[in-house]
Structure 1
Amino acid sequence: MSGEGRPSDIARAALEAARAASAARPRPTRRRIAGPRRTWTGPRPGDDDPQPLGRLVDSLISHQDWTEHTRVGAVFGRWSAIVGPDIAAHCTPQTLTEGELLVVAESTAWATQLRLLAPTILGKLRASVGGDVVTRLRVVGPTAPSWKKGPRSVRGRGPRDTYG
């Protein structure tokens, strides 16, 4: 027999050497992080629980004071849902300044119709985004093409005067 010993003795010696090396190594200290301990929040979710995205966005908007900007954006973003698809197909909102919403109609007939429907449209806007966002509605028809080209122009009917 050789002087090495049995395999179980060799394994036991290796295990004891590994334990001794592990005991000689410095152990990391455990630090306790100071702060509030998590407590039971009851039947409702707590602030640190997962929240629905809509609730988080609403709290961000109110915390950052973006409510006026989001209400103005809702007029343009939800125009079709507010006024209905029939009206929205024939007009588009252009600008909103100091409570006056400028709406451009696709024809003069639709501009006239929208002027008659202005109180109804204003009521829908008040109900949807709030009463102080849009206070007046100004409806304009399509703009006619300009015959003026360049910095100088001549008075008269333009190119139509040579047609006949």
Structure 2
Amino acid sequence: MTDNNADETNSQDSGSQQAFPPPHLAHLAGMDLVRRTLEEARGAARSQGKDTGRGGRSPGMRRTVAGRRRSWSGPGPDRRDPQTLASATRDLAQNLGWGKRVAEGAVFGQWTTVVGEQIAEHAVPTGLRDGVLSVTAESTAWATQLRMVQAQLLAKIAAAVGDGVVTSMKITGPTAPSWRKGRLHIAGRGPRDTYG
């Protein structure tokens, strides 16, 4: 009696389930069996007109999203790639028309990098107006030296922040002390001495 129950159970199972692996794939095992089974399932889905995922699509096909053709980015740089903060702020400044002001500010912010540490220790930019950069040197000797290399400094500044931001330089030495005392004074040159 137990044999009859077992036969009934087997007949019910065989009716509701298919044998795995199918008889024509019984000679395969492991990953070969998995690959072959997946290929057959994709083939069956394709024959019914269903999407089979990446494996069923040719490389040139592109998905459409809401009626639009969707483009995929390639291995090269793309506008959708993450951007650096520097490039994002540069683009923002250009879009808002701030490019010239940002370039002018870069002259002051990058002074040490542009002219070098030695010059930056002895001279500082004090103003930029209409393309004329005012630079104050710590001594008359440094002011003279900077005037002699002014063309090279202008070339370095143009390379760093762009052409036309700084067109010329006004280099001055240290300011002389004032000899004026009090509210009243007499017009004239004051003491005959050289400063700056």
Q: Bigger relative contact order, structure 1 or 2, given CA contacts below 8 A and separation 6+?
A: 1
TM-score between both structures, scaled by the size of structure 1? 0.65
Once residues 148 and 122 of structure 1 are traced to their aligned partners in structure 2, the CA distance between those partners, rounded to angstroms, is 37
From the superposition, tell whether residues 36 and 122 of structure 1 become closer, same or farther in structure 2 (CA, over 3 Å).
farther
**Residue from 34, 58, 61 that aligns with 2:90:** 58
Q: Deviations for 1:50-82, whole angstroms, at most 9, x for unmatched residues?
A: 543333222211211111011001100000100
Q: Please give the alpha-carbon distance, in whole angstroms, between the structure 2 residues aligned to 1:58 and 1:155.
A: 52
Which whole-Å CA distance do the structure 1 matches of 2:95 and 2:121 have between them?
Answer: 36
Aligned in 2, Cα 1:54/1:152: closer, same or farther, shift over 3 Å?
same
Alignment match, 2:56:
none
1:42 to 67, 73, 76: 73
> What runs of 5+ residues in structure 2 fail to find an aligned partner?
1-65, 192-196
SS in 1 for 2:170: strand
RMSD: 2.5
Task: Determine whether 1:97 maps to 2:139.
Answer: no
Percent of paired sites with the same residue: 43
Aligned ranges for residues 1-164 of structure 1 at < 5 Å?
Answer: 39=70, 41-43=72-74, 47=80, 50-154=82-186
Cα displacement (A) at 1:119? 0.8
Q: Which residue of 1 aligns with 2:40?
A: none
Aligned length: 123
Deviation string for 1:111-150 (max 9, x for gaps)?
1111111111111111111120111111000011101022
